[in-house]
Amino acid sequence: MKEATLTRAPDPLDFIRANMHLAPVPSLPEIQLYTAHPGSGLRRLAEQNEEGFGLQPPYWAYPWPGGAVLARYLLDQPETVAGRRVLDLGAGSGIVAIASAKAGAGAVTAAEIDRNAVAALTLNTLANGVTVAVVVQDITAGPPPAVDLVAVGDLFYERALAERVTAFLDRCLAAGIEVLIGDPGRAYLPRPRLRTLAEYPVPDVGDIKNAPMKNSIVFSLERAA
Ligand SMILES: C[S@@+](CC[C@H](N)C(=O)[O-])C[C@H]1O[C@@H](n2cnc3c(N)ncnc32)[C@H](O)[C@@H]1O
C-alpha cells in the first residue's frame, strides 16, 4: 500500500524568522517588518498546509500602499491616536497597528483572519517593541468593537469584502467610532463618503526596495446623510 506523503506545514513563526528579512519600511524608517525577498519561498507555507490555512496569497509579507500611507499619517499626526483605543482591521503585517502603538495609542488591537499574517504581525510587533492584542476572527459580521478609532489599510480590493467591510464601518460610525482608511484608490472604496486628510507617495506592493512609488490617500469615512 502506498503511504500518504502528507507534509506538515512549517511553523509560520519559525518559517518567517528563517526566511524573511527584518528591514525598515522605505517610507517609514521608524518601523521594521519581516519582509519577503526573492529567496523567501513563501509558497511553501501555502503548499504544505493540508488544514486549509495559509491558502490565501501572502498579503502579510509586504506593507501595502494603503497601510503604509495610513501608518505614515499616524506617525506624523500622533494626536489622532494618542491615548485612544485603536483597531487595525485587516492588519496583515501589522503596519498600522505598530504605527498606532508607536504614536501613543492607549490600546491597539489587530484583527486578522490569516494565521500566517498573525504570526508575521506578532513577530513584527516584537521587533518594534510594541504591544498589540490580536483577534484572529472575522469581526466584520459582528457588532462595533469597543474602540475609539478603526483604522483600515488597503481592504477595498475585492467587491464582496469591501461591501462587508463598509457595512461594518457604517455600524462603527453609528456607534460613534471614528474610521480612517488608507488606500491607493481601489475600485470598491465607498468614494462618495470619503474625505481626504492626507496624500503621500509610498512604494507599491511587492519588492519594496524597487517598487514604483504611488500616491496613496488617507481618508476619513463620513456617516451617510
Ligand atoms: C491587502 S492586505 C493589507 C494589510 C495591511 N493592512 C497593509 O496595509 O499592509 C489585507 C489583509 O486583510 C486581511 N483580511 C481580509 N479579510 C479580512 C477580514 N474579514 N477580517 C480581518 N482581516 C481580513 C487579509 O488576510 C490581509 O492580510
Q: 214-225: per-residue pLDDT in tens?
A: 889 999 999 987
How far is it between the farthest Cα atoms of the chain? 67
Give the closest residue (by CA) to ligand 1 atom 7.
Answer: 67
Give the closest residue (by CA) to ligand 1 atom 27.
Answer: 92
Long-range contact set of residues 46-52: C-beta below 8 Å, sequence gap at least 24: 48/7, 48/8, 48/9, 48/10, 49/9, 50/6, 50/9, 51/9
Q: Determine the distance separating the centroid of ligand 1 and the alpha carbon of 59, expressed in angstroms.
A: 7
Which of 47-51, 123-127, 167-171 has the weakest average pLDDT? Answer: 47-51
Summarised one tens digit per residue, pLDDT across range 7-52 is 567 889 999 999 999 999 988 999 999 998 888 888 887 765 555 5
Banded pLDDT at 3 (limits 50, 70, 90):
low
Banded pLDDT at 180 (limits 50, 70, 90):
very high
CA–CA distance, 223 with 171 (Å, rounded to integer): 10
Residue 90 lies in a domain: yes
How many angstroms separate the first and last alpha carbons of the chain?
67
Residue 7 lies in a domain: no
Contact 212, 203 (CB under 8 A): yes
Residue 6 lies in a domain: no
Residues 6+ apart with CB under 8 A from 69: 27, 182, 183, 184, 198, 199, 200, 202, 216, 217, 218
Residue 1 lies in a domain: no
Residue 5 lies in a domain: no
What does the pLDDT read at residue 6?
A: 52
Which residues surround ligand 1 with Cβ inside 6 Å?
A: 56, 59-60, 63-64, 66-67, 90-93, 95-96, 111-114, 117, 138, 140, 153-155, 157, 161
Residue 157 lies in a domain: yes
Residue 4 lies in a domain: no
What's the pTM value of the predicted model, to 2 decimals?
A: 0.93
Structural domain count of the chain: 1
Q: Determine the distance separating the centroid of ligand 1 and the alpha carbon of 210, expressed in angstroms.
A: 23
Residue 3 lies in a domain: no
Residue 126 has pLDDT above 60, yes or no: yes
CA–CA distance, 117 with 119 (Å, rounded to integer): 5
Give the closest residue (by CA) to ligand 1 atom 4.
Answer: 92
Closest atom of ligand 1 to 165 CA is: 19
CATH number at residue 48: 3.40.50.150
CA 14, distance to chain mean position in Å, is: 21
Contact 203, 154 (CB under 8 A): no
Residue span of the structural domain in which 110 resides: 12-221
